[in-house]
Amino acid sequence: MKRSRWRVGQSIGALVLCALTSFTAYSGDYKTILIHGFNPSQLANPNGTDVVGDGQSYWSSYWGNKADERIDWPSYERIEGKIASQWLWPKLKQFSESNLCEPGCVLLTHSTGDLVARYLIDNQANWLENAGLQPLNIVATFDLAGAGGGSELADTAVSALTSGKVWSEIVEEVLKEWLGRTTVEAVGVLNDLKVNNARKLAPLPESRAPRLRFVANSDDYYGITGLFLKGDHDGVVSSHSACGASKAAKFGSCSSQIAMDGLLESQSDAVSGFMPYHYPLIMADGYTHRNIRKGENQGKVTVAQNNINVAGRNIGYETFDKTKGFWIFKEKYRYVKNSDNVSVSELVYSMMP
């Protein structure tokens, strides 16, 4: 895989794509590790799944050649079971023995990769120390459309697939659109993605590595899945999960002062509290759960928070305000500079010279 680095002392203002972040690494070169999300196709044929090949394909649309390492895992297993023992642990051991993260590692996750990363962060030091190995120096995570708070779709799917009861036509359509089928051989990580289960999995990791959130907010799957999701959502994950909210509720923004579309106005339905060290950075109103990890621009994005401390430095984006309308109908919006030309993934990658 192509090696992407976070170089010491490099001026962010000079970075490609003009991401305009104030972040610079304080020690050495940071390495990037990808952790993919839920792959529904694997539930149909666990024995015939090429987990590594699927992992490579998952990131091929943009991130595949822009990271140092990748952690693959099978969606037909559970996180605390074989995903941890057969997929996370061998990679952690490899990274520690090769000193990959000695200068610092950044995890780049999408969807359920957010939940997998939280479990990894909570346990990696203990696992490696017990094996006589050095724990990894994980300095931050960048979570695209993070599902760390679970998804109501998983609750619906597990109930329908395991109950043996006849479900409604709308549930059948949800299963067809999201999972691609109405029968599976294994439920696997869908159990971990159920909202209550997800929020009980490693909820208070000792690590203080900041978890920066990049939140999509546009309907997907023809709007069918959104009928089962709370508040604003990206077609798969509700805002309470993607924003990193401390509770599952119906939220309309990650910020109390900025709407998902950048409108500068008090948000009465905003997230009121966050999980430890979770910081929503970008809210991307035109992006869906699936396309936020890709390289295509889907319109301007805004910030929920800015200038977040990562390893002793601030990370944030330069923004600009724009007034729309006229007379008493004027409204002010805030956008990330250059976000009308590049994708969210490009904005993230532009921090990684």
Residues of the chain with pLDDT under 70: 1-28, 166, 352-353
User: What's the pLDDT at 315?
Assistant: 86
Instruction: Give the ranges where the chain is alpha helix by DSSP (H).
Output: 51-58, 89-97, 113-130, 152-163, 169-178, 190-193, 195-200, 239-242, 344-349
Residue 336 three-state SS: strand
User: What's the pLDDT at 23?
Assistant: 36
Residue 265 and residue 255: Cα distance in Å, rounded?
10
The answer to whether the Cα torsion of 353, 61, 87, 145 is positive or negative is: positive
- Which residues share a beta bridge with 143? 109, 213
Residue 282 three-state SS: strand
User: What's the pLDDT at 352?
Assistant: 64
Residue 25 and residue 8: Cα distance in Å, rounded?
5
User: What's the pLDDT at 311?
Assistant: 85
Residues 268, 248 contacting (CB under 8 angstroms): no
Report pLDDT digits (tens) over 295-326.
999 999 999 999 998 888 888 999 999 999 88
Residue 297 and residue 291: Cα distance in Å, rounded?
9
Output Rg (C-alpha) for the chain, integer angstroms.
20
Residue 33 and residue 67: Cα distance in Å, rounded?
6
User: What's the pLDDT at 157?
Assistant: 96
As to burial, measured by CB atoms within 10 angstroms (0-12 exposed, 13-18 middle, 19+ buried), residue 105 is: buried
Residue 121 and residue 130: Cα distance in Å, rounded?
15
Query: Angle 152-163/169-178 helices, nearest 10 degrees?
Result: 110
**What is the pTM (predicted TM-score) of this model?**
0.92
Closest CA to 337 of 308, 288, 309, 301: 301
